[in-house]
Amino acid sequence: MADIFTPWQMGELTIPNRLVRSATWEGMAQPDGTPTFETVNFTAELAEGGVGLIITGYAFIHPLGRGLPHQTGVHIDAMIGPITRISDAVHKNGGLVAMQIVHAGGQTKSDWIGGQPLAPTAMTHLAFKEELAELSKAQISDIAEMFGRAAARVKAAGFDAVQLHGAHGYLISEFLSPLTNRRTDEYGGGIENRGRFCREVYQAVRREVGPRYPVFIKLNTEDGLEGGLTPQDAALVAASLSDLGIDAIEVSGGMAAAGKKAAGRVVTKPEEEGYFFDNAKLVKAAVKCPVIVVGGWRSKSRVEAALDQVDAVSMARPFIRQPNLANLWKAGQSLQAACISCGQCLRAGMKGGVLCVQEQKEKEEAKK
């Protein structure tokens, strides 16, 4: 079995161990998207806890691309100063941090963005039931450039890398899926065309940040719905990105309408861990760059076994429950994450910020 605590390379970035904190919406930003000191402290605690690479929650590149309330923004130059506080705090604690950037596309609500959601195809959203406006070719090009400018801000703010959010039903993912992309032009039809926007976004980002700055992607490899994106098509997209020079691919899946087949599934036993691992093996066989896989990892032994076939494993909810999980595993003080997959941590975000509700209950019980 591979050792979790050996370094690996993402482009020119050396990452000290194989544990990645997968991006999670924090729900802590001000209404305009400015990150608060709660966001800074939340992220810095992960660095202190020993995780190899932290990926921040998705930051919107344009107000119409906001996915949830109290989401961090990276849409204007004025955000460079506030987000620099995050990278500075992580570096002071000895960590590495990437910022994930996103356009939510049609997977949002008009009340949250103050306008009609934009999508590859004019349709009713599968989960939110919002009426979506179809993007013109000019708008598609503009959004790709917005991704590039947002990535430049991330670099200027001292982050070690930038991650594109190409998963979970947001705009890049919507273009990849035949369920949400019903276009008949060069952006629709077969996977070559459905992957065009994803490639154009990567190329726009690369033009802005230069050839050496690490750029990677969280990529949907299935939608969790009949007739949706397949792992085989996703592997073709991954291969095309690898050929263009992307520095790593984080394998994920699911979208809001997928219900129990979305990301963030309930995991109650070891054999349920790594529910995107088979997809990751397909992607790994198709690419030259490192592959990270998310999907319900909870036990150290399962993570070690997975590292025989992928380069790193990412987790989100376990690090909300135990920001110091990496240090615990390294010291041999734990073999299992304490997370019970209840999902209440993210629901709590709507009420003032993501936190482990189970941990809060335990603390309250201890006081009695």
**Which residues, 6+ apart, have CB-to-CB distance to 138 below 8 Å?**
none
Let me know if 170 is a catalytic residue. yes
Looking at this protein, which amino acid is placed at residue 201? V
Distances (CA, A) of 297 to 76, 315, 330: 36, 6, 16
Q: Choose, from 170, 187, 213, 275, the residue flagged as catalytic.
A: 170
Exposure string for 130-168, b = 16+ CB within 10 A, e = fewer:
bebbebeeeebeebbbbbbbbbbbbbebbbbbbbbbbbb
Torsion angle in degrees (nearest 10) through CA of 64, 264, 252, 188: -40
Return the beta strands (E) in 82-237 as ranges. Answer: 97-102, 118-119, 133-134, 161-166, 215-220
- On whether the CB atoms of residues 87 and 74 are closer than 8 A, the answer is no
Instruction: Round to whole Å and give the CA distance between 296 and 146.
Output: 32
Beta bridge partners of residue 220, listed in sequence order: 252
Instruction: Round to whole Å and give the CA distance between 272 and 292.
Output: 18
Enzyme catalytic residues? 170
